[in-house]
Amino acid sequence: MRAPSVDLYAALYRRDLRLAMRRKADALLPVGFFVIAVALFPLGVGPEPQTLRQIAPGVIWVCALLAAMLSVAQLYTTDYTDGTLEQLMIAGDGALLIAYARAAAHWTLTGLPLVIAAPLFGLMFDLAPASLAVLAATLLLGTPVLSLLGSFGAALTLGLRSGGVLLILIVLPLAVPALIFGTGAVAAVEAGQSAAPHFSLLGALLIGALLALPPATAAALRIAVE
């Protein structure tokens, strides 16, 4: 028999996915932004393969970061406004489960499509197959960190005026390490070096984010509803 907390987490996760599917335009906006932004870069910098290979990791990672940030501002706003958030937090560990479930749903809707699409757009930048695989792997490790950071920032600025601007100012600097390690791994492979150190750092960053950010998000949610 599953623990009640597991059932509550699964119910919250499914609820978030269902609500997002009712607003398909909002759910598809980050992916659409990512596709358009990445596709424009080769047109802007020219068709030189060497140049495209050099800028590809940074371009794709920056576009993924900005796309992930598009939808985080409203993660908790609707539930906070109509009182649903306060009701969901009545359970003893409700705030923590909400933080985990909301970040997981955000990654499923935003991060996972970016992981799938990135290698396809990497072909536009003339990346080698090995580099494409590393790019996808770094995004698989790094995009959950972006969702966790976005969830934390959304909770921290919940109910504040101009909260969206403050959220970006909080989250973007914290996301820089993931950006550096992700692009560094691809650059290392392109240079014929091992990407293992970068993967180790990304993995450590993900573990740290999973352990630290949801409790911090839960604390911010409790403060916001009090």
Helix axis angle, 112-122 to 24-45, nearest 10°:
20
84 or 100, higher pLDDT: 100
How distant is the alpha carbon of residue 26 from its chain centre?
Answer: 15
1 pLDDT band, cuts 50/70/90, is: very low
| Rounded Cα gap, residues 109 and 31, in angstroms | 9
d(CA 166, CA 154): 9
> Over the stretch 25-36, which tens digit does the pLDDT of each residue have?
777 888 888 888
Percent of the chain at pLDDT above 70? 96
Contact 52, 45 (CB under 8 A): yes
What pLDDT sits at residue 201?
A: 95
Residue 55 has pLDDT above 80, yes or no: yes
In sequence order, which residues have a C-beta less than 8 Å from that of residue 169 and are 6 or more positions away? none
**Among 76, 105, 106, 104, CA closest to 88:** 76
> What pLDDT band is residue 166 in, cutting at 50, 70 and 90?
confident
**Is the per-residue pLDDT at 199 higher than 90?**
yes
Structure-token match 């909260």, residue found: 163
Q: What is the pLDDT confidence band of residue 176, given thresholds at 50, 70 and 90?
A: very high
Residue 17: CB atoms within 10 Å: 15
